[in-house]
Amino acid sequence: MALSARPQPRQRGLETAEKVRKAALRLFAASGYAAVSMRDIATQVGVQPGALYNHFPTKQHILKDLMLSHMADLLTAWDTADFPDGTDPIERFVRFHIRYHLERADEVFIAYMELRSLDAENFAFVEAERRRYETILTEILSEGAASGRYHIDNAKVTTRAIIAMLTGIPAWYRPGGDLSKEEIETLYLNMVRKSIAAETKNNPGNPDTGDRMA
Partner DNA sequence: ACCATATTAATGAACGTTCATTCATTTAGC
Partner DNA sequence: GCTAAATGAATGAACGTTCATTAATATGGT
197 three-state secondary structure: strand
For 197, phi and psi rounded to 5 degrees? -60, 150
Confirm or reject binding of residue 174 to a copy of itself (CB under 8 A).
Answer: no
Confirm or reject binding of residue 187 to DNA (CB under 7 A).
Answer: no
Closer residue to DNA in complex, CB, 119/139? 119
Q: Please give the angle made by the CA atoms of 188, 172 and 118, to the nearest 5 degrees.
A: 100
Q: What span, in angstroms and rounded, lies between the C-alpha atoms of 62 and 47? A: 16
Per this entry, what is the length of the chain? 214
Confirm or reject binding of residue 76 to DNA (CB under 7 A).
Answer: no
Q: With contact defined as beta carbons under 8 Å apart, do 170 and 101 qualify?
A: yes
Confirm or reject binding of residue 171 to a copy of itself (CB under 8 A).
Answer: yes
| Contacted entry of DNA, a copy of itself, none for residue 199, CB cut-off 5 to 8 Å set by kind | a copy of itself
Confirm or reject binding of residue 16 to DNA (CB under 7 A).
Answer: yes
Confirm or reject binding of residue 201 to a copy of itself (CB under 8 A).
Answer: yes
159 three-state secondary structure: helix
Confirm or reject binding of residue 31 to DNA (CB under 7 A).
Answer: no
Tell the smallest beta-carbon distance from residue 145 to a copy of itself (Å): 13
Point out which residues bind DNA (CB under 7 A). Answer: 4-12, 16, 36-40, 46-55, 57-60
